[in-house]
Amino acid sequence: MRGRVSMAEEKRVVKSSLGARITHWSHTICWFILLFTGLLMVTDWFGWLAPVFGGVNGANLLHRIFAIVFAAVPLIGLIYNPRSFINWMKEALTWGKDEIKFMMMFPFDLLGLKVHMPPQDRINAGQKFNSLFFPTIGLFIGLSGVVMWFAESFPLWMVRIAYPIHDLCWILGTMQLMFHMYLGSLHPGSGESFWAMFGDGKVRASWAKHHHTKWYDRVYGKEE
């Protein structure tokens, strides 16, 4: 007797590599540690976190250590698998009419309205935006952080503008991260990809075909 195929039995395809998952979660963990150690150093409102990080001095030390880790993770990935990094950036920088239409229609989709979303590649237009946004923000955070760390080696005017740049980038980055987490964990159109990052990087074939049609047809279409 043939019945409907269960979600557990349905064909699954690899969407996120092990390297991508390690980089993703390494950066996420570093981001939150840097965020909370930074907040502890700049405002008394987060003084309750002091015991967690060994006081302000401990937070200062951890902030610098994880800043180095934060910068090292993508560099290690680039050295270990340059082809994957280049392909990822090529994907993120490839924009056409379908990506533009996706970004125009996405607010309506976010509000729960039924709209026809154009076919997307392995990463959709929103994910492409993230792939460009976070490295850019991270670069400004890193450069301003270096100026703040070695302030005596830079002109005073550069040190003065480094602080607001650092803070503004962290605010914008954290806001975007919260939005990214909401979309990934709660939005019905993105949840499958998000939870795949916790496991083996695989998603249901039917979901991939619906949400990432161009990529699925190109990579797995011949198998059907």
Per-residue pLDDT tens digits for 63-91: 999 999 999 998 998 898 899 889 999 99
DSSP SS3 for 13: strand
In a domain, 7, yes or no: no
Hunting for tokens 């991508």 — which residue is that? 20
Among 39, 63, 80, identify where a domain stops: 80
Q: Are residues 61 and 136 in the same domain?
A: no
Higher pLDDT, 179 or 199: 179
Q: Are residues 76 and 98 in the same domain?
A: no
Q: Looking at residue 183, what is its pLDDT?
A: 82
Binning the chain into helix, strand and coil, the percentages to the nearest 5 are 75, 5, 20
Q: What are phi and psi of 218, to 5 degrees?
A: -70, -40
Q: Are residues 123 and 141 in the same domain?
A: yes
- Nearest C-alpha neighbor of 107 from the set 132, 128, 125: 125
Average pLDDT of span 91-104: 96
Q: Are residues 49 and 70 in the same domain?
A: yes
Q: Are residues 37 and 103 in the same domain?
A: no
Q: How confident is the model at residue 36 (pLDDT cuts 50, 70, 90)?
A: very high
Q: Are residues 62 and 106 in the same domain?
A: no
Average pLDDT of span 150-155: 96
Q: Looking at residue 3, what is its pLDDT?
A: 45
